[in-house]
């Protein structure tokens, strides 16, 4: 990454030992290790966020392309064996109301019995 060889690293360690002394050097190394670890974590999180954003943009682009292609496709008018397809019924005619009672309640339901009245 920084192209630091063993000779440069050894020279840096000797200079740090002479300047700081053997008492403060372990604490300084511990602090430096903590700072490097935090920097790597921040860089990793940043990289992952960029990759997530790139993936989301790519997914959105695929959705747009798929919707554009789907709008260009005409629905089939005949089946595979050549028979014409029946026109589709409107959704209002094919869907039953969800919260209402059925139009014809069962014979044993209280709505049809006259004994309760």
Give the separation between CA 34 and CA 36, rounded to whole angstroms: 5
Place of tokens 């709008």: 71
Give the separation between CA 57 and CA 94, rounded to whole angstroms: 38
Which neighbouring-strand residues pair with 78?
A: 84
Both tokens assigned to 104:
């014809």
pTM exceeding 0.75: no
pLDDT at 117: 46
Both tokens assigned to 91:
């959704």
Both tokens assigned to 37:
């670890």
Q: What is the pLDDT of residues 90-99, one digit of tens each?
A: 655 555 555 5
The residue extents of the domains of the chain are 8-72
């Amino acid at each position: 990454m920084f192209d630091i060889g063993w000779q440069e690293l050894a020279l840096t360690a000797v200079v740090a030992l002479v300047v700081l002394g053997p008492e403060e050097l372990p604490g300084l190394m511990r602090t430096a290790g903590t700072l490097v670890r935090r920097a790597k974590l921040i860089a990793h999180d940043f990289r992952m966020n960029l990759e997530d954003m790139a993936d989301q943009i790519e997914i959105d682009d695929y959705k747009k392309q798929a919707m554009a292609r789907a709008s260009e496709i005409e629905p089939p008018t005949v089946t595979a064996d050549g028979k014409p397809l029946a026109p589709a019924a409107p959704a209002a005619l094919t869907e039953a109301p969800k919260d209402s009672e059925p139009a014809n309640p069962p014979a044993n339901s209280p709505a049809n019995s006259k004994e309760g009245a």
